[in-house]
């Protein structure tokens, strides 16, 4: 086990970690703005009430509010679809926030240095109609190594999703026009 993680992390890795965390935080703020719009409150009030909730908990709260207020099914489905992207990267986010990092295999990748959660010795095989494949296909939940290019793609995916999600919410009235200053 490596005693120093600084040898494998470049400034680019750290910048991408920050970018990923930033776009996930933007999704959180948008969820708080949606909640505020739905209940007719200011975003700052909702932010105060939900500041200790995780992104996943805010996601559940907003979806529950949308169900309670009985918005059109197509709007609910659209919001749910937009929220799949940040949910996909939930485990990566947790690792960015709570793990030290070491060089992966291949050496061009990095992975969290889990002390109490070692990598599984047996991984499930995904792929093919019968579940068999000639090579292992990782799900996001199974992925434990990341290259700079993969982190950059993740950051770009989160950025693009946020921008599309915000535009959609504005177009259907789930985010109030004046609320941006709150």
56 lies in some domain: yes
Asked, as a colleague might, if the bond just before 106 is cis with ω within 30 of 0, I would say: yes
119 lies in some domain: no
152 lies in some domain: yes
What's the total number of domains in the chain? 1
What pLDDT does residue 176 have? 84
In the chain (182 residues long), the average pLDDT of successive 10-residue segments reads 63 97 97 96 94 94 93 95 95 92 85 63 52 47 80 98 98 78 40
What pLDDT does residue 84 have? 97
What pLDDT does residue 2 have? 43
Instruction: Enter the pTM of the model.
Output: 0.78
Residue 9's nearest CA partner among 91, 86, 94, 96 is 96
129 lies in some domain: no
125 lies in some domain: no
Domain housing 79: 11-114+134-177
30 lies in some domain: yes
3 lies in some domain: no
What pLDDT does residue 136 have? 45
């Amino acid at each position: 086990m490596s005693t120093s993680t600084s040898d494998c992390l470049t400034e680019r890795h750290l910048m991408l970690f920050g970018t990923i965390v930033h776009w996930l935080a933007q999704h959180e703020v948008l969820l708080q703005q949606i909640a505020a719009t739905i209940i007719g409150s200011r975003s700052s009030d909702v932010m105060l009430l939900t500041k200790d909730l995780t992104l996943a908990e805010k996601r559940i709260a907003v979806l529950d509010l949308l169900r309670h207020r009985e918005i059109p099914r197509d709007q609910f489905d659209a919001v749910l679809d937009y929220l799949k992207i940040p949910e996909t990267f939930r485990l990566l986010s947790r690792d960015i926030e709570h793990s030290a990092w070491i060089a992966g295999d291949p050496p061009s990748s990095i992975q969290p240095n889990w002390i109490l959660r070692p990598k599984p010795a047996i991984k499930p095989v995904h792929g093919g109609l019968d579940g068999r494949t000639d090579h292992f296909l990782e799900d996001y939940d199974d992925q434990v190594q990341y290259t700079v290019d993969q982190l950059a793609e993740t950051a770009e995916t989160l950025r693009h999703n946020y921008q599309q999600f915000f535009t959609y919410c504005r177009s259907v009235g789930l985010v109030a026009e004046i609320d941006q200053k709150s």
